[in-house]
Amino acid sequence: MSTTTFDPFRSIDRTFDRLLGEGLRGASASGSIMPMDLYRSGESFIAHIDLPGVDPSTIDIDVEDRTLTVRAERRSPEAEGAQWLSRERPAGTFARQLSLGRGLALDRIEADYRDGVLSLTIPVAEEAKPRRITVSHAGSSADAHREIEGADTEATKEHASA
């Protein structure tokens, strides 16, 4: 009598291998193996994209029609006469696109590549930043220019009921 042991992790690995195929292993022109963190810090959005082993000269970043595209290439090491036992590191050209909303300063995007991580800083445009508006009215000269902050004050209640 033979017994078969069920290993759920091995089964999951095989399933992923079948579903993803060469997408994770071979040179894939449409590869999307570019993990990213994105957050807002003050008046800018910051994206950190993992690109380990990428030659910085192959990184291409462009913005067209509010779409930011990052392309990079990682070459596979050439080992003449080698018999590969495992080849899991993705190689080839990879691309990632981000749809950018309105209110960003697309002409001031900065990029920095350090320790295998591409960092993009996307500033908020001046016209999209909140600002205070001064309201003038025909009252006494002391009240001629008041800033409206959105809170109900006695002056605004009196003005509203007049």
Indicate whether 18 belongs to any domain: no
Q: Say yes or no: 68 and 145 in one domain.
A: no
Strands (E), the chain: 36-41, 44-50, 60-64, 67-74, 92-99, 110-114, 117-123, 134-136, 145-147
pTM above 0.85, yes or no: no
> Residues 28, 105: one domain?
yes
Higher pLDDT, 31 or 54: 54
Q: Please tell me whether residues 51 and 104 are part of one structural domain.
A: yes
- Do 103 and 144 lie in one domain? The reply is no
What's the number of domains the chain is made of? 2
Residues 109, 151 within the same domain: no
DSSP assignment of 21-54 equals: GGGTTS--TTB----EEEEEETTEEEEEEE-TT-
Domain that holds residue 139: 132-162
Q: In this structure, is residue 146 part of a structural domain?
A: yes
Q: What is the pLDDT of residues 51-102, one digit of tens each?
A: 998 999 999 999 998 899 999 999 888 888 888 888 888 888 999 999 998 8
- Per residue in 121-132, pLDDT tens? 999 887 767 778
In a domain, 13, yes or no: no
